[in-house]
Structure 1
Amino acid sequence: MTRRHDPHRRQRIIEAAVEVISESGLAALTHRTAAARADVPLGSTTYHFLSLDELLDAAVHTVAERNVARLREWALSLPAQADLSTELAGFIVLLAGEHRQTSVLAYELYGGALRRPALRAASTSWDEMLTEVFESTVDAATARALTAMFNGLLYQALVSPGKPEQADLEQVLRRLLD
């Protein structure tokens, strides 16, 4: 479909890129696959994103923003006297279960930063925001350690063949937080 005036075209291309990566992996994203998914001419993707790294960067930012919004929403919903180990374990189970596809996508993009330096700044924004949220409940050094542990536990939960057990995760988190 040809659209002469399409003020949302750039965002549709980004969303299409996120969908391609989510369904088929990072290697499947090309200007051509994004254009086809967004139903725009190939020239539109190269007009808005001069390189594939620029498109990937936009996709990483989009996914990171969504994940940060989910994280902030979770943090704001915590009761004042919440047991952080219990709540974090439950959040990991939620992210590995109900939000599995989004979590896998985030880690795929995060891992892409290993080989694509242009993605590093956007990828680290998740860690920075996670640490910032944790600093509202623990000191800065513990927040950084908790960020690393949280990421590791979530990654393990995503690659594990079984469903993560909240009690097992809680026990590990409690070791750090007590």
Structure 2
Amino acid sequence: MARRHDPHRRQRIIEAAVEVISESGLPALTHRTAAARADVPLGSTTYHFLSLDELLDAAVHTVAERNVARLRDWARSLPSDADLSTELASFIVLLAGEHRQTSVLAYELYGGALRRPALRAASTSWDEMLTDVFTSKVDVTTARALTALFNGLLFQALVSPGKPKHADLDQVLRRLLR
């Protein structure tokens, strides 16, 4: 078991929850599975998170913040004259390939908000953060549409049996961004 004084225990429990969901899906997460993965007593999880929804909310925020940080870094790295549809298509291919596990996890948590109202605020904040990033490149209305399209295209890329084709993604994105 972890040592008695552990100032990072709460964060370790959140990381453990993220790992459990990533490996086994949302239904696998319980206080007990998080405690076992974090190597802490079961009482630690219920001390830091009074309900499973609180733990899920923390996991959603953690995953969303990481994904948005990746998106912000991507947006900052773009040259001012970059072709946004081509760059977004490349980013979706990257997220569906190299970062597939994190992307699947994000959508698993996002989808969990359908049945768990306590997760909805964290899930909608993901959309707001995405729109905020896109607003740095396009107007607000287009950014909202781009958020919906980006989410849909990435989700389709993740559930499709084959690898996403850059040209197909670029074509759809280009239509919206015209």
Query: What TM-score do you get using the length of structure 1 for normalisation?
Result: 0.99
How far did 1:3 drift? 1.6
1:3 alignment counterpart: 3
Shift of 1:4: 1.4
Counterparts in 2 of 1:1-178, with a 5 A limit? 1-178=1-178
- The one-letter code sitting in structure 2 at the alignment partner of 1:127 is D
Q: Could you list the per-position Cα deviations for residues 80-99 of structure 1 after superposition, in whole angstroms to 9, with x for gaps in the alignment?
A: 10000000000000000000
Letter in 1 for 2:176: L
Residues 20-69 of structure 1 deviation map (CA, whole Å, 9 limit, x = unaligned): 00000000000000000000000100000000000000000100110110
d(CA) in 2 for partners of 1:84 and 1:170? 9
Residue segments in structure 1 that go unaligned for 5+ positions in a row: none
* Runs of at least 4 residues off by over 3 Å: none
Letter in 1 for 2:75: A
| CA deviations over 1:106-132 (Å, ceiling 9, x no partner) | 000000001111101111111111111
User: 2:19 & 2:123 partners in 1: Cα distance?
Assistant: 18
What secondary structure, in the 3-state scheme, does the structure 1 residue paired with 2:143 have?
A: helix
Matched residue of 1:138: which SS? coil
The residue identity in structure 2 corresponding to 1:132 is D
TM-score (norm 2): 0.99
Q: Partner of 1:161: helix, strand, or coil?
A: coil
Identity %: 90
RMSD: 0.6
Q: Which moved more, 1:129-138 or 1:77-86?
A: 129-138
**Which residue type is aligned with residue 73 of structure 1?**
D
Q: Residue 68 of structure 1 aligns to which amino acid in structure 2?
A: V
**Structure 2 gap segments, 5+ residues each:** none
1:2 is displaced (CA, Å) by 4.3
In the superposition, relative to structure 1, how do residues 2 and 79 fare at CA in structure 2: closer, same or farther (>3 Å)? closer
Give the Cα separation in 2 of the matches to 1:139 and 1:103: 26
CA distance in 1: counterparts of 2:126 and 2:2, whole angstroms? 36
